[in-house]
Amino acid sequence: MMMADNRDDDELSIPRAALNKMIKELVPNIRVANDSRELILNCCTEFIHLVSSEANEICNKQTKKTISPEHVLAALDSLGFSSYKEDAVAVLEEAKAVAAKKRKGSSRLENLGIPEEELLRQQQELFAKARLEQQQIEQQQRLQVQNALQQQQQLQLTQKNMAQSTDSREDDDDDYC
């Protein structure tokens, strides 16, 4: 039972590496004891739970299904953390800017360093090559079908000739009787 509780706590907390990095950035010249780091981690986790729960209640009261940034800001007010709102809004704007930059920067065309006209030309060449290959495949298939038909016709003709030959031999045999 104790292990399950430990696992749940790990899943619901900030990664230790991220916390250590934040501490180092905020207080670079001060050593922080492991017990203090653990306490900070627990406080951060509890704060997040508290704000999340309050934002969820506000969201539910508005009959919304998704917690929006406005719900989180309202939760900060409701819980008496209004002084954090300005920083939270600044972080939100920064996060939106980074996300927009990632979306814009994730365009493969821009990252290739090849002009769009050149890429279009290459694409057209590939399409032309694919069409030619497809035509060749279709032509081979038509030839195979024609060959199969010719073989079938030859077989039928041979069978017909054999049948006629057999019939004429039977007729010849009848003459000798």
Domain boundaries, the chain: 14-82, 117-166
Beta strands in the chain (DSSP E): none
Q: Is it true that domain 14-82 has CATH number 1.10.20.10?
A: yes
Q: By C-alpha distance, which of 72, 82, 12 is closest to 41?
A: 12
- Tokens found for residue 15: 């990664």
Residue 1 has pLDDT above 70, yes or no: no
- CA dihedral of residues 78, 83, 85, 90 (deg, nearest 10): -170
Instruction: Tell me the residue type at 26.
Output: L
Q: Tell me, what's the pLDDT at 163?
A: 83
pLDDT one-digit tens code per residue, 87-120: 999 999 999 998 888 777 656 656 677 888 888 8
Q: What is the pTM of this model?
A: 0.52
pLDDT one-digit tens code per residue, 48-72: 999 999 999 999 999 999 999 999 9
CA 24 to chain centre: 35
Query: For residues 24 and 37, is the Cβ–Cβ distance under 8 A?
Result: no
Q: Tell me, what's the pLDDT at 110?
A: 62
Q: Tell me, what's the pLDDT at 10?
A: 47
Residue 2 has pLDDT above 50, yes or no: no
The lowest-confidence range among 33-37, 124-128, 165-169 is 165-169
pLDDT one-digit tens code per residue, 12-53: 778 999 999 999 999 999 999 999 999 999 999 999 999 999
- Angle (CA) 74 76 81, round 5°: 145
Q: Tell me, what's the pLDDT at 169?
A: 67
Rounded CA separation 131/50 (Å):
61
